[in-house]
Structure 1
């Protein structure tokens, strides 16, 4: 397919560059802020600044990984019925040269960020190396691909802990891992349901029944470990357990009945009940931690 970006207007190219960065996916980087809440540091302006900077740096890094992935997959995306229209590179809205220039600018921001928060950027560097490995090899390996996605979420939480110079709770680690495995398994399920095994190479190794079992096991683990954390370490947070349970139920309803879930971010932003549940959970956690830290 010839590059048609030259036929586009400057405004459409600007929108294309912004789309290439996938700002909607930055919602995932709120995981970086989790230690800020559970460490009770959200009343400290310095801690808030460090956590927000870490989250912003992760936004830059995640956008960079999306660009690398899109450059690598451009030919495959051009043959995809949906991605050929929605991915700026595959659609010809943005040239590869412009994408590389944007990627260089994002890398420069991360280098600058290293001078401000070197330890956070070290975690981000590990995240980016993992994602490069995912783009070129790991996404073709069944089971490994799901765990790679999940580890990316764990690294977000770890970066938040590093930013605050607090240890990462083992409860938070295992709960985040299980929740991320659940989201990744559901994503694979919906890709299979909507596009079949032609959507991506690794899907040929999966079946809907198999990834359903992965999702159920991971969701059960996330609920179990979160509940154990609450009852053993933060009993005041027991009021949030029903919210977590409802959120898991509602997300599965969105997947099964509303045909969502291929993009967890879209499922969250487009379902008001799910979004309200997450906001209520954040508010309840913040209120409980506020009461416990005079």
Structure 2
């Protein structure tokens, strides 16, 4: 039973929440409640769940020694030895292969996006995560691939302002995650856990966080101008961005999923934004 729990922990099912990004295009496009649309997006969402879990497995395999030096991640199944390396490798291959095979039944464009996502995930785990700035963009592309996959699945064009908003928000969250790690770990521990942190001089990640946060507000506001009812969600988004910055600067985790699930204010902002957008699109 403990081994099964450990394997499930490796898959990080709570991170599958990110795959709801696939439903953003039809949700914002006003077609999500059309008959069959949710069902249509179920298989693609499962595919990205399989692909993302495969990516997490590869990352944990590459990081198992470094994770052993982290105060919290040292308890992860691979770092603690609860799950064998061969088991994790086999599972990663099976999940990636399953994701690709199922993706083929969805469509060519979708399959290419899944392959691109897997390629970036593997490249990130192997070497790109050691390169400053490049690592931030690698994390951000994961969100972009989900957004574009949603557009491909539901045959909806992604607007330029929405694309830029998601890109900048992803960079904002990536910088916040790295900054929280840098603040939590000592210089020696940071070097042994995540070497890229030592390449970020003091104040750099803070600057990226503030710059991308400001840019998100601009691009999202421009996006809302073509949907007048969305303009009233801008103050809510501003509050959410500031709350996330406060959370990171206070020494709390900057992981986007953890922040959403554990910070009541951010959770309320997310729910409120969804409700306001949903009412504006579907309630009028």
TM-score by length of 2: 0.93
> Residues 213-254 of structure 1: CA distance to partner in whole angstroms, max 9, x if unpaired?
0011101111110001111x1011112111111111111122
Instruction: Report what 1:273 is aligned to.
Output: 265
Instruction: Report what 2:127 is aligned to.
Output: 137
SS of 2:36's partner is helix
Instruction: Report what 1:241 is aligned to.
Output: 234
SS of 2:185's partner is helix
SS of 2:71's partner is coil
User: Do the aligned partners of 2:175 and 2:208 also contact (CA within 8 Å) in 1?
Assistant: yes
Which runs of 5 or more residues in structure 2 are unaligned?
none
CA distance in 1, matches of 2:17, 2:55: 15
Instruction: Report what 1:122 is aligned to.
Output: 112
Shift of 1:263: 1.4
Shift of 1:14: 0.1
User: Do the aligned partners of 1:189 and 1:208 also contact (CA within 8 Å) in 2?
Assistant: no
CA distance in 2, matches of 1:45, 1:227: 31
User: Do the aligned partners of 2:165 and 2:220 also contact (CA within 8 Å) in 1?
Assistant: yes
User: Do the aligned partners of 1:190 and 1:255 also contact (CA within 8 Å) in 2?
Assistant: yes
User: Do the aligned partners of 1:189 and 1:211 also contact (CA within 8 Å) in 2?
Assistant: yes
2:101 paired with 1:107: no
SS of 1:262's partner is coil
Instruction: Report what 1:212 is aligned to.
Output: 206
2:42 paired with 1:49: no
> Residues 64-92 of structure 1: CA distance to partner in whole angstroms, max 9, x if unpaired?
0000111122222234333221x111111
2:154 paired with 1:181: no
SS of 1:168's partner is coil
Between Structure 1 and Structure 2, how many residues are aligned?
A: 279
- 5 Å-filtered alignment, 1:38-77, equals 38-77=28-67
User: Do the aligned partners of 1:41 and 1:48 also contact (CA within 8 Å) in 2?
Assistant: no
Candidates 190, 200, 222, aligned match of 2:180 = 190
CA distance in 2, matches of 1:173, 1:208: 30
Candidates 60, 77, 80, aligned match of 1:88 = 77
Candidates 252, 265, 269, aligned match of 2:245 = 252
Is 125-134 or 49-58 further displaced after alignment? Answer: 49-58
TM-score by length of 1: 0.90
CA distance in 2, matches of 1:274, 1:79: 30
Candidates 212, 219, 230, aligned match of 1:225 = 219
Distance of aligned partners of 1:208 and 1:285 in 2 relative to their CA distance in 1, 3 Å threshold: farther
User: Do the aligned partners of 1:179 and 1:218 also contact (CA within 8 Å) in 2?
Assistant: yes
CA distance in 2, matches of 1:261, 1:242: 24
CA distance in 1, matches of 2:241, 2:80: 35
Which runs of 5 or more residues in structure 1 are unaligned?
1-10
